[in-house]
Amino acid sequence: MPVSPATAEHLAAGVVAHYQDAEAALTARIARNLAKGIDAPEWAATKLAQMQEYERQARRLLADLEKKARTGVRTAITDAYDRGGLSAVADIAKFKEVDVGGGMKMLQKQPGALAAGVEPLAGLRAVEALTRETLGNVVATHRGILRSTMDAYRSVIAESSSGVLLGDQTRRQAAQAALNRFAQKGITGFVDKAGRGWSMESYTEMALRTGCGRAAVQGHVDRLAANGLDLVIVSDAPRECPLCREWEGVVLSLSGRTPGYPTLDEARGAGLFHVNCRHNVSAYQEGITRPMTDTEDPEGYADTQKLRYLERQTRAAKRVQAAAMDDAAAQAAGVRVRAYQAKIRAHVASTTAKRQPTRERLGAL
């Protein structure tokens, strides 16, 4: 059975859902806190004085979130590694059952493979390292999440006060407009090298997909190597991206000891198994494994990218809905949510893209 990062990506869904819920809760708390007494003359001074209490609420929520993340990440990484290993067992069994020339073609140890058997603690060390790295990436965002939330709280107060002074809007209108801009962007948990801010749920999803995917592939290749296999073949994936297209059907060496083949590490370094990659690898045996041809699907890739855009817009509209200060604002945001969901339905009905409702989710509103 082939294995890919997608093999275990659903294992991270529980942790991602906690971050989605937390983002919705933090946004909604800002809206509720600022809506109280908004028509009073001393509103701005009162809300600034309440900032410490709001910060304490946010810190408590993030502390609870970290506890859930520690448990969830370890479970997801361990399960992903184990599932990768089980898929390798299925790969090995498949070769033992192939009938070649009237007889059974038994699995042959490949020249570049390591000796059968691995150190018992190797798997545990791999899981521990991946867990530590993934959890570190996720929890490291908490400081940025708190800062982003508090900056939003202050900026809404400042923008609301200036808008009223200029006479352009009522305080409520100005506050809602500022909240909407903040919610559209999302609570920033991480800023990458290009200066792009990632919302807390988007970055968490990316980090967990990456960690679980790496664990699944590592469990798979560790088990193959332990059984004397050194060669794997990269699958054909529908709607593949240009970065991975050149690797489809390529045979790779796990150890680098088999002459004439690029290594799995080289393919990874060139971009294979990036975030959201749907490619997989499976064991390769000369004379048994059939290489694939005609693998390109640029139109499918374009369809998928448009779907990802519509999903992001749906989530942004739901964040605005969570930031509504009154029923009228919530209803207006709801109209926008439904409009984007209608666009998604129309898109998947007319293309090969597959709808994934969980990607449109934003916690409990």
Q: How far apart are CA 210 and CA 88, in angstroms?
A: 20
Asked whether residue 299 is assigned to any structural domain, the reply reads: yes
In three-state secondary structure terms, 45 is helix
Residue 307 lies in a domain: yes
DSSP class of residue 24?
A: H
Strand order in the sheet with 281-283: 251-253, 231-234, 281-283
Report how far residue 277's alpha carbon sits from residue 287's, in angstroms, rounded to the nearest whole number. 28
- Which residue type occupies 113? A
Measured distance between the N- and C-terminal CA atoms of the chain, rounded to whole angstroms: 40
- Does 37 reside within a domain? yes
Q: 247, 54, 82: which is closest to 152 by C-alpha?
A: 54
Q: How far, in Å, CA of 9 to CA of 39, rounded?
A: 47
Q: Positive or negative CA dihedral for 330, 332, 337, 341?
A: positive
Q: Is residue 365 part of a domain?
A: no
- How many structural domains compose the chain? 1
**Region label for 252, one of left (φ > 0), alpha (ψ between -120 and 50) or beta (otherwise):** beta
Q: Considering the domain boundaries, does residue 333 fall inside one?
A: yes
Tell whether 273 is covered by a domain.
yes
Cβ of 80: how many Cβ atoms within 10 Å? 30
Q: Is residue 76 one of the residues assigned to a domain?
A: yes
Range of the domain at 271: 5-360
Q: Model pTM?
A: 0.78
pLDDT per position in the chain (365 positions), as tens?
565 555 566 777 888 889 988 988 898 899 999 999 998 989 999 999 999 999 999 999 999 999 999 999 999 999 999 988 888 888 888 766 554 454 445 455 555 554 444 455 678 888 999 999 999 999 999 999 999 999 999 998 988 887 665 556 788 888 999 999 988 888 888 887 778 888 888 888 888 988 988 898 889 889 888 888 899 988 876 666 777 778 888 999 998 889 999 999 999 888 888 776 777 888 888 877 777 665 566 787 788 889 989 998 998 899 999 899 989 999 999 999 999 999 999 999 999 888 988 888 875 33
| DSSP code for 263 | B
Which of these, 169, 356, 200, 201, lies nearest to 278 by C-alpha position?
A: 356
